[in-house]
Structure 1
Amino acid sequence: MKHIQYESEHTKFIKELKEKTPGMEERQQAGRSLLWDKAPLSLDEQRRIDESRLRQQAYPYQTKV
């Protein structure tokens, strides 16, 4: 008995798209790195960011009476 591996329509679409659009994965990885791959912060930079963060009250819409 032959086992036919199922491939969803979505998987087929993605494979076709990658074949039709050369360099798409490289551009995708470059875009990802803009948002997620950040250089590590030094301890001084991290301390400065923490100290400059504004404290917010627990319920910001409540008026102070």
Structure 2
Amino acid sequence: MYHYRSDATQFLDQLIADNPELETERMENRNLLWDVELNPQEQAGFEAAKVEKQPYTYYQN
């Protein structure tokens, strides 16, 4: 069976093999962006500040 692996995949596999601490750093950095606790008061403020969307410019009322 033929298993093609691109140069990019081979490079990343080798990089991870040579630097095992990258996985830990990657997860820590992921947590900074994606696993964030949302402040309910701040979220309520965002909802209250929403502006109603205007109708399509060329739509005749």
TM over 0.5: yes
How many corresponding residue pairs? 52
In structure 1, the gaps of 5 or more residues are 59-65
1:12-51 aligned at under 5 Å gives the runs 12-42=10-40, 44-51=41-48
Q: Structure 1: which 4+ aligned runs deviate by more than 3 Å?
A: none
Q: For residues 4-56 of structure 1, what are the alpha-carbon distances to aligned partners after superposition, in whole Å with 9 as ceiling and x for unaligned?
A: 211110110000000111210111011011011111443x44223433x375x
CA distance in structure 2 between the partners assigned to 1:46 and 1:12 by the alignment: 43
Q: Percent identity?
A: 27
Which structure 2 segments of 5+ residues have no match?
A: 55-61
**Matched residues in 2 for 1:10 and 1:37: separation?**
28
CA RMSD of aligned residues (A): 2.1
> When the two structures are superposed, what TM-score results if normalisation uses the length of structure 2?
0.64
User: Which whole-Å CA distance do the structure 2 matches of 1:9 and 1:54 have between them?
Assistant: 47
